[in-house]
Structure 1
């Protein structure tokens, strides 16, 4: 044994020490969140209890309590009863000890229920010391990311395995140990050293010592400042709320989170492993379940309500299959979201993306066939590609799957052909399908003909839960209210679109003229081929089909006119359209329009010029906001979004900013991001900044001139008219 054994034991001790350090560092970070969360949670629960009338104690005791004298003595809420305690309650005339005991027991039952159900929401507009402490504590875990979760899991398993082995191997750690140990003890020590060597070698091959060291550094590194933590929270609120839900133990209703699946299917899904080694984003519990569902059931449709992260769930499935050795994947989507898919996969995973679009798509297809990766293409392009061989494609993802509900359409036939040739398929749609059995059946038939044949109108008539049970082998849908226990208050998405040929032509004309404002609105000036307009229509349609109201903002009156005509003729046909609200509309009239918009019981669309409608009006009836183009002043965007995202908003607000790649939008976003974002974030929260957005924004003229010159150079044009024209 000798030196080799001692060195092996020493390596095991060092590895176990590093693993235990990660576990301890993570535990301290979690405890810091709990310590900050506790007082806030208690305060929220206290306010809730102070709003519950004392009469509710009758419900808990089935009417056995007499509360007249209690209320007359000033104890009108459950919170007041709990605060009073037994001594003060006993002083009330006519109230005996038995009544006090029963009353307090009932109050505590209500208190326990309130503490279990109330959710802590973080108000980014009113940071307080308590919420700041919570956000900074959460940032440590959010910044550490999925690698920390992976490291803690591996570290926990290693410490559990190495602990007993190191104890058995103790005699081998010193020169005299083996000599003094008995025969059985020596045999156990030798066996333990062999096992330790194997474990340590395996850990080093997997890079675990480096992972543990980096994770410990990440968990011990605090935020650079409170402001930095708040800025990060604004950018990644969903991730913060996900960590908060996990630590607080507040889980959504299990049946709702699992889409009311039958127990036998739900159990099979729960036991499905989910490898995260190729993934760069953490999943919420319902998202992990959705990914496992797709893996366990092989060919499925994910119908989660918009805003629940269907794309992230699809990426989790792709990452898992890549970790298992699959090399080729295909994502099919509308052209309007092709760029978004590309960017999301690159940002959220370690997978290679290959875009199969445009005139070179067949060359790109051949390259993908040879080298593998995630191919991202459109429905139209898919029709021109040769069908895959059996088992060649690890997963076919079909986004906006309701687009292929007509079985006679060419795009539907192409998708059906590919689905049949792939072992796994994941269809995605945010459109609720319960009341569209004929359309739904055609989609299900591509996934499972037997389920499609068994699906009848009667299933839908029995209600959504019964319908989902009937299609459980292939369909999973969850709603925001069911699964987001701490609702992210604001979700922002940049929707990157590639300009169509007509868009590009209009854009080049504006650049040649040096007309900055025309460049900004060029993507809407030829509506029949507008990529942005197509994507806006999809967002409005999906919002409407989910019963949500939408506000559409633009800086330009003519863009709003184009949008109104397009929506009225297509995606929003039959949906009430209000506005546009412009500077020429009297303030009183503007408010009446907003009130009428809010009064509509179902979906509706409100159009507004961002400078006129984005200030002074409350639009909290809307939960979807669309910005037609980026604004020169970031504060203008923040103020406009704040019209919907404010007190009284009962649902999370989803903001979509429509951006075109490669031109003025991309340059504006990049240039504005070059400014000191921490200063902007601090200034945004000041009364001065809210009143005077010009205080923290770059000059309009300087920005316009710079972008026009850069675009003219990029497109090989000489300077045209004044950059400030238009």
Structure 2
């Protein structure tokens, strides 16, 4: 190549590199500007919340943060009843108060400032679609720019940062090679360095072209320029994608849950090891919250674990993030085992949140899909009940995910044995469950036994005499749990209301007959036996009418099909009713019903059996939850409520429990309190266990017998011959 052509080629390489650098800088500048817009919109909202906190603090709180002793009596006599007033006052105003000198005034201002800083740091802004004031709207619109850029923005920024870090140095070294005039005044060694730099730029450009970096940067920068055309459009987009908005908000302000909450209060050494675990996002198409990243890293670092996060925290997303990492690390085949009712939801989420393809091994096409999965790889989605029919091939899943893993807590059950077979041939195993233990700690121990048998040996015989804190410490290598209140500060309020009703005459007659027969289930649904005179149905109708007036959607849960039928009959002509979702409805149809309910413009009512709709389905469209009767398993109710009160909910959620003042409802509420305490102490983060699990356990059969006997005695009825009926759902 002639010197002239060499200079021209070098000049063109330099120009292309400069254009690439300009694109990278434009993206980084656009992102920084978008983030600053969020901070500017957030600042007045945070300041207002901090002022509210200070106004609610009595001046006595100043003593807690002062370096020395402070006397606040003079402040209170002068009318300074809260910290907010002290913080707003000037030093001159404080010194003017009788009994407060210059030193005391300075100490008071310093203490108030410390509390103000703490209030500002802890203030968590909640966006409420029902309170679309100017400040909140400005924040929604600012966040919308970053949300619209999508999950590719993070990768584009990472690439742009690498370009910004490397290319300026190479360009400075290469420029003499692109100018004949500069070349005349450049020494031989410098010319060699310039030629080497040009080669380096060429390699950068070739790699960028192969990876489509220019397109990535241009698209991301363009996306950052998009703004909502109106305030209404901004709020609609927020309501549809609330989790993305809050995820971006937490990234911008860097105000996430503290490390202890994020890591589920694991021992420090274990938490540090988990944080050091890499997490590749090349095949992921969703941004993660801090606690979700930690959960995915935990699954990868510990290899065989349970993530027992409370409902609504995105366990599915954490599993998909782990699958995407293993895909990038060379994994080819993966398997998700879940209840049939949520198979479609899993397939949707996998293909929406990652580049992986999902194969439904279910229904008439199961064998064809199985062969496709074996040939192509990625994720097989199999039902818990159908897993034992799956003939093992040569594939060894890089990760086995078992959703609602409490279904395999009985090691003797066929589905548990099938899961155990696949565990043995899988590299990583991840159990997901919001309810790892319902009645007995040993059920939870059985789950751990599937994964890390050595832990079970350490626990055997000890967990009945140690407290919950020590129990959680021992199972930490295999168990991670976080609760909503610890990591989702932005989640709308959950308002729980017990609606106590008196039996009507017809209710009471049906109830006495059920008690005399000695059957628990008829006792539980007796309040609906005569719909015309049902006190509970009257109250339910009032609640639905109120929800309609406020343009809210309602989900009604009951254990019994007959109760749902009575509700449907009562609401006929009064509301748009979808469902019911019950055990006889296929998984595909369940999702269709939820989609139909969600898509409806305006108020509506979704009816569901609590076991069929309380697991797996996301019903954020509903902000009013009505539970027709107390449940024998407290976890059923928690799961059902979490279908609506979860990440993505944008409205305050009201939960109404329909209860009767006397009879089975009151007895169940009282007796089930012990079961709930057991769960809280051992499955949730807690240090309140003061007794043994066995002392707190109330099994279903024992509870049924006890309630029936108590009610027969209370009503002076002769016990019937039949035993407690725990099976009928009609």
CA contact (8 A) 2:405 2:436 kept: no
CA contact (8 A) 1:303 1:477 kept: yes
Report the secondary structure of 1:44's partner residue.
Answer: helix
Cα deviations across residues 167-226 of structure 1 (Å, max 9, x unaligned)?
A: 222322322223212334323322222222222211221111101000001101111221
Residues 356-435 of structure 1: matches in 2 within 5 Å? 356-389=361-394, 392-433=396-437
CA contact (8 A) 1:165 1:196 kept: yes
Are 1:248 and 2:215 an aligned pair? no
The structural deviation recorded for 1:549 is: 8.9
Q: Structure 2 CA distance, aligned partners of 1:259 and 1:181?
A: 61
Q: Structure 2 CA distance, aligned partners of 1:329 and 1:289?
A: 21
CA RMSD of aligned residues (A): 3.7
1:200 to 187, 200, 205: 205
Q: Give the structure 2 partner of residue 80 of structure 1.
A: 85
Distance change >3 Å, CA 120–CA 364, structure 1 → 2: same
1:97 to 99, 102, 107: 102
2:602 to 616, 623, 635: 635
Q: Give the structure 2 partner of residue 42 of structure 1.
A: 47
Q: Give the structure 2 partner of residue 168 of structure 1.
A: 173
Distance change >3 Å, CA 573–CA 261, structure 1 → 2: farther
Q: Structure 2 CA distance, aligned partners of 1:486 and 1:641?
A: 18
TM-score between both structures, scaled by the size of structure 1:
0.70
1:120 to 117, 125, 130: 125
Are 1:304 and 2:253 an aligned pair? no
Unaligned runs of 5+ in 2: 1-5, 500-519, 544-556, 576-590, 607-620, 627-637, 652-730
CA contact (8 A) 1:393 1:422 kept: yes
Q: Give the structure 2 partner of residue 179 of structure 1.
A: 184
Cα deviations across residues 602-622 of structure 1 (Å, max 9, x unaligned)?
A: xx9798848869999xxxxxx
Q: Structure 1 CA distance, aligned partners of 2:85 and 2:380?
A: 62
The structural deviation recorded for 1:459 is: 4.3
Which range moved further: 243-252 or 148-157? 243-252
CA contact (8 A) 1:138 1:240 kept: yes
CA contact (8 A) 2:62 2:111 kept: yes
Q: Structure 1 CA distance, aligned partners of 2:522 and 2:200?
A: 70
Q: Structure 1 CA distance, aligned partners of 2:640 and 2:78?
A: 41
The structural deviation recorded for 1:380 is: 2.4
Are 1:590 and 2:590 an aligned pair? no
Are 1:470 and 2:474 an aligned pair? yes
1:231 to 217, 231, 236: 236
Cα deviations across residues 310-352 of structure 1 (Å, max 9, x unaligned)?
A: 1111111122222233221111111111111111112222211
Distance change >3 Å, CA 651–CA 367, structure 1 → 2: closer
Distance change >3 Å, CA 381–CA 36, structure 1 → 2: same
The structural deviation recorded for 1:88 is: 1.5
Q: Structure 2 CA distance, aligned partners of 1:122 and 1:374?
A: 36
Are 1:455 and 2:459 an aligned pair? yes
Q: Give the structure 1 partner of residue 37 of structure 2.
A: 32
The structural deviation recorded for 1:488 is: 5.3
Which range moved further: 122-131 or 4-13? 4-13
Are 1:354 and 2:321 an aligned pair? no
Unaligned runs of 5+ in 1: 491-546, 552-571, 595-603, 617-625, 658-680, 685-726
The structural deviation recorded for 1:585 is: 5.3
Q: Structure 1 CA distance, aligned partners of 2:63 and 2:382?
A: 62
The structural deviation recorded for 1:51 is: 1.0
Cα deviations across residues 85-126 of structure 1 (Å, max 9, x unaligned)?
A: 212112222321111100001111111111111211112111
The structural deviation recorded for 1:589 is: 6.4
Which range moved further: 604-613 or 30-39? 604-613
Report the secondary structure of 1:376's partner residue.
Answer: strand
CA contact (8 A) 2:305 2:478 kept: yes
The structural deviation recorded for 1:433 is: 3.5
Q: Structure 2 CA distance, aligned partners of 1:471 and 1:384?
A: 32
